[in-house]
């Protein structure tokens, strides 16, 4: 088992996976900042200066002006604004990954192979030009 792991690690698979995870984490923080700092403030402003991260349902009977205040008091809350931010974050990350994978697949697509220049005669099994209608070796009609 150690030998298999050593081959796996030295082949580059482990390194590729590590780089992918690190890039994924970096991309996630970048997208989270994009959502919270760039996309949500204009949407909140258009909807009447609403801060989505501050939307919550207070389950206690005490009134709190903000989610931070409620959390500091230890009040039970349903943080649907934070959830909306996370859903939007997930959708943006998924869409960006879709675009990246789509582009990678486009680069990987192989061009269609050209038609073969020769074919095999079914009678004498010799190679003849693919456009030939008669075999030059056995003179059979193709």
Band the pLDDT of 19: cuts 50, 70, 90. Answer: confident
pTM equals: 0.52
Domain range 2-109, CATH class: mainly alpha
Q: Is 40 helix (H, G, I), strand (E, B) or coil?
A: helix
| The two three-digit tokens of residue 126, written as one number | 């010799």
In SS3 terms, 78-97 reads as ECHHHHHHHHHHHHHHHHHH
Which residues make up the CATH 1.10.1200.120 domain(s) of the chain? 2-109
User: pLDDT tens, 80-137?
Assistant: 888 988 888 788 778 877 888 888 888 877 666 677 888 898 888 889 888 888 888 8
User: pLDDT tens, 23-49?
Assistant: 888 887 887 788 778 887 887 788 777
Q: For the purposes of burial, counting CB atoms within 10 Å of the CB of 64, is it exposed (0-12), middle (13-18) or buried (19 or more)? A: middle
Q: What would you measure as the largest C-alpha separation in the chain, in angstroms?
A: 100
């Amino acid at each position: 088992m150690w030998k298999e792991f050593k081959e796996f690690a030295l082949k580059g698979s482990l390194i590729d996976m590590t780089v992918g995870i690190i890039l994924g984490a970096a991309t996630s923080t970048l997208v989270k900042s994009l959502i919270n700092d760039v996309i949500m403030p204009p949407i909140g402003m258009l909807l009447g200066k609403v801060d989505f991260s501050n939307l919550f349902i207070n389950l206690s009977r005490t009134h709190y002006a903000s989610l931070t205040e409620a959390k500091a008091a230890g009040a039970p809350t349903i943080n649907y604004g934070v959830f909306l931010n996370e859903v939007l974050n997930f959708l943006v990350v998924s869409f960006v990954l879709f675009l990246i994978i789509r582009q990678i697949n486009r680069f990987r697509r192989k061009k269609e192979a050209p038609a073969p220049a020769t074919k095999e005669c079914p009678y004498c099994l010799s190679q003849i030009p693919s456009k030939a209608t008669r075999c030059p070796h056995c003179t059979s009609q193709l």
